[in-house]
Amino acid sequence: MEYRQLGRSGLKVSALTLGTMTFGGQGKFAYVGNSDQSEATRLVDIAIDAGVNLLDTSDQYSVGKCEEMVGEAIKGKRGQVLLATKARFPMGSGPNDTGLSRHHLVNACEGSLKRLGVDHIDLYQLHEWDGFTPVEETMAALEALVASGKVRYIGASNFTGWQLMKALAAADRAGSARFISQQIHYTVEAREAEYELVPISLDQGLGILVWSPLGGGLLSGQYRRGQAGPEDGRDFAGWKEPPIRDEARLYDIIERLIEIGEEHSVSAAEVALAWLLHRPAVASVVIGANTEAQLRTNLKAVDLRLTDSDMERLNAVSKLPLLYPYWHQALTANDRLGAVDLALLEQYLPKSNAF
């Protein structure tokens, strides 16, 4: 296993994180998995044996059941793992049982600690933005949780660029704890994060954790152009994340993943995961699994080294068109682009005939 520094913190995390959203199967999360306790514990043990040291969950997953199962699965192994969980979404029917208010965050943290059966959370993440709560209140609440010892580090998830920078600025003004990471959706097919979120991570020292790195299974190689997908796949289950806006492009990417996989004698899924591990600022890729076989296949991705040619071929079928003002900067300001700018723009510069 490879270990990477998480943002500007001193924390080292495994390049692959075990995502646990498939544990529990309660409510809408039955669409993505329903591992029982025995299977969940087995998956956790396999991941730990492979060197995975970060487990990711959320109070929302199966309405708390997932956290309970994670807590049970790590009994006797707490010293071997870092625990990441999240808060923001409803955990009750009351008007204050949701959001990023001080009231809800403190209650949510206490609830997660109890369900996990631990005295602290290693990485506490804001699961989504809350446009009602002043960001200063949210960051102050997180600082209080860190100061109390209940939380070691904090992160964000699913924020826009301006929302992320606003939260970081609030923390900096107050001299309080700031995010060390952001957990985002990012795949070789869904590259929107490269416009703002990846450059912000580089500039602000945030480690990227990637959720749904196979696009809900779409990039696993099981879905092929003109063929029916697996009967237990996302379309049959009713899970519609992430949205697909260009089906032809999707299948072009899948075919390239399969092609490169065959050249390396690995699966398309391993290539898709390895592509992410080659991208700037990515600290860890969150992999989930419904079966032991899926997990063992995904774990092998950390050993796959893609060549420059592999990356260029994947880029050729997947890079997005430049939005304004990026295309204007690439055309007119490329004499003074810094390393952060080039994280996005280098592949589009005029010398590459990208336009």
The conformation of residue 286, written as its DSSP 8-state character, comes to E
The catalytic position among 3, 31, 61, 124 is 61
> Which tokens sit at 234?
């996302």
Question: CA–CA separation, 242 vs 141, rounded Å?
Answer: 31
Residue 105 has which token pair? Answer: 């965050």
Q: Is residue 100 within 8 Å of 138, Cβ to Cβ?
A: yes
Beta bridge partners of 16: 285
Look at residues 222, 217, 218 and name the one whose alpha carbon lies nearest to residue 247.
218
61 is catalytic: yes
Task: Find the helix or strand (DSSP H, E) in which 165 lies.
Answer: helix 161-174
Report the catalytic residues: 61
